Structure 1
Amino acid sequence: MPYDLATGASTRPLRLAYAADYEERGPAGGGVVATEDLENHGYALLELDEALEQALLDQSTDQPSSSSSPSTTLVIRGQPRDEAVLCTSSSTFALRRVEWSNALLVVDAGSAADAAEDEVQPGTSATIQATLAHLLEARPIKANTTRLPELMAQAKAVWDGVSPLTKVSACTLDELRAQVQASDYELVEGLVHYDIVQLEDGGYRQITSEHLCHVLASIFTACAAEDIRLDDRAPVTLRQCFAFMGLAPSTRQGGSCSSDDADLLSPMVVRHCFRKFATTCDADGASGDAAMHVDEAAYEDRPHVFVESSVCRYIGQEVLRQHKSIHYEQHAFMEAWSASVPEGYTVSLDMLEGICIPNETDDAAGSGAAPKTLLYLPIDELPRDPAARMRMLFDMRAKWSAEELRVYLADIAITPAQIDMWLMKYARRVTATGAMARHGKRKAHGQPSTEQVWYCARIIGAT
């Protein structure tokens, strides 16, 4: 509502002539303005950079198809104890309040609003709508969807593929929106990443990894029976896969999985496997990420190829997770992993970046032998704060290469320059000559000199 500046016992509009030098002269008549008279009535000044402006322009054509309700143009999301973030339909921005030394008066000048600034004469009346002593800075950040598994566990919305859906709790998309600090587009990507699927009854539930592996194996088995090897040279549509697996159309529309249908797979979980492990290969060239937001009916007829690295990465993480130890003997793991992936797929430790790292020991590195064990270190379980994450990484291993650290910082950094800044702030660069030098051993006479750059903790235990 409009707000008038109070002077003593009377209330009247502030004249524009007094706004520029208000602190020096005070209001006309010499009245004292109380602090509570300058409160803000629902206005905020937001700094608009090119990234946020472009996000606002793009959002009208970049809506996720699975939204259950229209997306708000701009919304601040998070719980009361969270730092506020500003979300558009496709991007997330951190907000920071910047105080000013002077207050900005937002006024309604009435008829004077149509006049040029240099034509406004002293004595023109205007009503103060708000006073602003700060602005909000918005900077783009990576959305944080790591809260999703915890939310699903708290709601007991986890499905094993066997229990009747009527006996398993579910979440709605609006409930997840209210608690996860992410735009709608990024939230949908988070749902796919954490295997949270909208099942036949419309509710969202997290699929257990055991059941998802079972469904994935069923897809490969059904396609193999049709002489289709799911790789980058054998496209298949979701509709074809439904037919191969004997899933009737009636099951895909409005049906539900019950304990009596324990052997009948949910088509919605099969669809999820396509989104998670496959990418489109049709003429329009849409990528797998873009395909998550296309029309559901059209999605079933789009040719897909399964991505070998995505399938192997997921299965490799499951092998490590089920080991129930952060250390795994490398040779035994590679054998177990190779035996678990589909026939014809080849595994490589490069596929597990951000999931595990070589646990190099002084003896192994000193003898030139390959690392004997792997350290299970999934990036999703690390703190989101850069300082806390760097401290945890250096607690796990004393020395890291720049490439290894970049992998474990990529999910919270917007640009490579931001990672460089964190390396300078929280780590100490060490240059060693020869592979043995970093372990305190001398280089043999005549051996060629090779420099290696490593990063150590700048301050041990610093926050």
Structure 2
Amino acid sequence: MAGNLRTLEQVLKIATDAKLDPSDLAPVAQTLYFAGDLNPSRMKIMECDQSLLQYLQEGSTLTIRGDKSDTAVACTSDKTFELKAAETSNTLLLVPDCKTTKEFEDNSEPLSQKEVIGLAHEYFELRPCRPKLKRLKQLLEENRYDGPLYEDDDSHQGKKYTFTELLESVQASEGEIRDKLVKLQACNINGYWRLLSNDFDSSVLAQIIQLIDENSWTTDHVPTKETLDTLENLYPRNILQHCLDCYGDKKSMETDSGEEIVYSLSEDKVCRAFAEMLLKPAGKFNLSEFLESWQQSVPEGMKTTLYQLEGLALIDRTSRPEVIWHFPVIELPEEEVLRFDTLFQVRSKWTLDEIRPYIQDLVGGKSSVTALLQKYARSSTNKDGIKIYNAKRPART
């Protein structure tokens, strides 16, 4: 290394030869020397903003996720970033403890030797992106929970996944995966995250509602302990508790015997669940007949309204009779282009109120529903003065 180091006299001579004015130079000269293995593939450089830099400096981790066929993403504890390589025309040198003029101290030595420990011709850019959660539902669909009686039946059982295994397979942060598990109404059963089968979930909810009716309780005051104690001979307690969490809101009440935990069933969630029970196996359903059957199926005192079906079902008011059918947003592609292609294949023209529930989940960062529609659709006004949207280009087939 000694033969590679420059003296202060050599540095000043180089400055003079370059016709630099000594008064313009910093009080400290930093000379660079190369040592060790500088293979560019040995080290990677990543660009990050101030908030991400602080996150890493605090000791938090950044995890890269994706299979060989996936576009790589990097995840913090609660955010997902697209990870892409960007080339640079200049060679980047990695020099630890290299200082700017403002960082020099008054008593600094006039010459400082700095070792170059790495070089690169590209760096990784991190751009915030939506988590890729479609795979999460696909994995959980492999083995839905039908109840304890079917757990030993291997004829229809697929793989079950722990949370660690889901983290290894799904391109999203831990926080985003946990949030999605809640939205999917997934349940932790013996250490594995499972979706309840539609029939089993419906039967548990129906049994809770029947118990409410038998005891003349109101749906906004369902005693937790009494419900679990009464029905645990039919369903596991953790499943009953899960169902209450999915369709109700927990609250604490003071009674003469002390604090009591009760649930208030959500009218919108329960009505939506009963609508899906009716629509999912039915294909297209006569709208007026559906509305009548739907209202009759929900618990007494609850009122069904069409807004409860946003992102769950579509209505065709141009057909005679008018019809409704199951069309859940959760089944649509995550990619913006494919999402709009699918929507315009299903229906060539949409009003804002109709399409919003099917693109709202694509909104994030600086995007908005309006921005997405401007990008992928063209608007016009129909004869009734209502703005409608249709495909900006022919949909893919």
**TM-score (normalised: structure 1):** 0.68
Question: C-alpha displacement at 1:410, in angstroms?
Answer: 1.0
**SS of the residue aligned with 1:429?**
strand
Matches for 1:295-444 after TM superposition, within 5 Å: 302-323=261-282, 325=283, 327-361=284-318, 372-414=322-364, 417-432=367-382, 434-435=383-384
Residue 112 of structure 1 contacts residue 120 of structure 1 at CA under 8 Å; is this kept in 2?
Answer: no
Question: C-alpha displacement at 1:37, in angstroms?
Answer: 4.6
Q: CA RMSD for the aligned pairs?
A: 4.0
1:203 aligns with 2:192: yes
Distance 1:180 1:402, change over 3 A: same
Look up the match of 2:18.
none
**SS of the residue aligned with 2:195?**
strand
Matches for 1:28-107 after TM superposition, within 5 Å: 37-48=38-49, 50=51, 52=52, 73-107=61-95
Structure 1 CA distance, aligned partners of 2:93 and 2:206?
A: 65
User: Which AA in structure 2 matches 1:191?
Assistant: L
Task: Note the alpha carbon deviations across 1:126-181, whole angstroms, 9 max, x for none.
Answer: 13234362232231x44333323321344xx2221153434455321111111122
Question: C-alpha displacement at 1:266, in angstroms?
Answer: 1.5
Distance 1:333 1:415, change over 3 A: farther
Matches for 1:225-244 after TM superposition, within 5 Å: 225-231=214-220, 234=221, 236=222, 238-244=224-230
Structure 1 CA distance, aligned partners of 2:302 and 2:41?
A: 62
Distance 1:83 1:419, change over 3 A: farther
User: Which AA in structure 1 matches 2:146?
Assistant: D
Question: C-alpha displacement at 1:269, in angstroms?
Answer: 1.4
Task: Note the alpha carbon deviations across 1:350-405, whole angstroms, 9 max, x for none.
Answer: 101011122232x76xxxxxx70124321111111111111111111111112322
User: Which AA in structure 2 matches 1:460?
Assistant: P
270-279 or 104-113: bigger deviation: 104-113
Unpaired runs of 5+ in structure 1? 5-10, 18-35, 61-71, 248-262, 284-299, 365-370, 436-450
Residue 148 of structure 1 contacts residue 194 of structure 1 at CA under 8 Å; is this kept in 2?
Answer: no
Distance 1:352 1:268, change over 3 A: same
Task: Note the alpha carbon deviations across 1:165-210, whole angstroms, 9 max, x for none.
Answer: 34455321111111122222332232233343222x3333321011
Structure 2 CA distance, aligned partners of 1:159 and 1:103?
A: 56
**SS of the residue aligned with 2:386?**
strand
Question: C-alpha displacement at 1:345, in angstroms?
Answer: 1.5
User: Which AA in structure 1 matches 2:134?
Assistant: T
Look up the match of 1:124.
113
Identity %: 27
1:146 aligns with 2:134: yes
Among residues 276, 283, 288, which one is paired with 2:246 in the alignment?
A: 276
Look up the match of 1:439.
none
Question: C-alpha displacement at 1:42, in angstroms?
Answer: 3.9
Residue 357 of structure 1 contacts residue 374 of structure 1 at CA under 8 Å; is this kept in 2?
Answer: yes
**SS of the residue aligned with 2:362?**
coil
Look up the match of 1:297.
none
Matches for 1:106-255 after TM superposition, within 5 Å: 106-109=94-97, 116=104, 124-131=113-120, 133-139=122-128, 141-154=129-142, 157-167=143-153, 170-199=160-189, 201-231=190-220, 234=221, 236=222, 238-245=224-231, 247=232
User: Which AA in structure 1 matches 2:48?
Assistant: E
170-179 or 106-115: bigger deviation: 106-115
**TM-score (normalised: structure 2):** 0.78
Residue 89 of structure 2 contacts residue 121 of structure 2 at CA under 8 Å; is this kept in 1?
Answer: no
Structure 2 CA distance, aligned partners of 1:122 and 1:205?
A: 64
Matches for 1:446-457 after TM superposition, within 5 Å: 451-457=385-391
- Larger of the two Rg values belongs to structure: 2
User: Which AA in structure 2 matches 1:239?
Assistant: K
Question: C-alpha displacement at 1:312, in angstroms?
Answer: 1.0
Count of aligned positions:
365
